[in-house]
Amino acid sequence: MIIAVSDLHLGDPVSNRNGFLSFIDKFLKSNCNEISELVLLGDILDLWRRNTSSVIHDNLDILKDVCNLGFQVHYIVGNHDFIMKEFGPEELTYNPKNMTVSDGQVLTNGGSKFRFVHGHQMSYWYVLPFYEAFSRAMCIVNEEIEDASNVWNILQKHSETLSPFIIEQIHELSEVEKAQIDKKLAGPLIGHSSTIEESLLEDYKLLQKFVNFKEYQAYSVNSLYNEMISLSSESGNSPKIESLAGLGKVTQENSFEELASKFLNAWIGVFQWMNSGKKTKREEIMQLVRRFQRIALMFSTNLDRDEFVIHGHGHSNHVDFENQIADSGCWIGNKASFIQIDEGKVSCTPWPIR
Residues 73 and 150 in one domain: no
Closest alpha carbon to 270 in 241, 230, 240, 247 = 241
Q: What integer pLDDT is reported at residue 146 of this predicted model? A: 62
Residues 335 and 236 in one domain: no
Residues 68 and 131 in one domain: no
Residues 335 and 273 in one domain: no
From 215, 235, 252, the end of a domain falls on 215
DSSP single-letter state for residue 286: H
Residues 211 and 248 in one domain: no
pLDDT tens string 96-128:
789 999 999 999 999 999 999 999 999 999 999
Structural domain count of the chain: 3
Residues 104 and 23 in one domain: yes
From 279, 299, 319, the end of a domain falls on 299
Residues 65 and 100 in one domain: yes
- Segments forming the whole domain that contains residue 338: 2-119+307-350
- HEC secondary structure over 9-53: CECCCCECHHHHHHHHHHHHCCCCCCCCEEEECCCCECCCCCCHH
Answer yes or no: are the C-beta atoms of 118 and 41 closer than 8 Å: yes
Answer yes or no: are the C-beta atoms of 73 and 38 closer than 8 Å: yes
Residues 201 and 102 in one domain: no
Closest alpha carbon to 126 in 246, 259, 221 = 259
Residues 151 and 208 in one domain: yes
Residues 138 and 78 in one domain: no
* Length of the chain counted residue by residue: 354
3-state secondary structure of 106: strand
Query: What does DSSP say about strands 345-350 and 337-342: parallel, antiparallel, or unpaired?
Result: antiparallel
3-state secondary structure of 137: helix
CATH of the domain at 6: 3.60.21.10
Residue numbers in the chain where pLDDT is lower than 70: 143-144, 146-148, 191-193, 235-239, 278-281
Q: What integer pLDDT is reported at residue 276 of this predicted model? A: 85
Answer yes or no: are the C-beta atoms of 333 and 327 closer than 8 Å: no
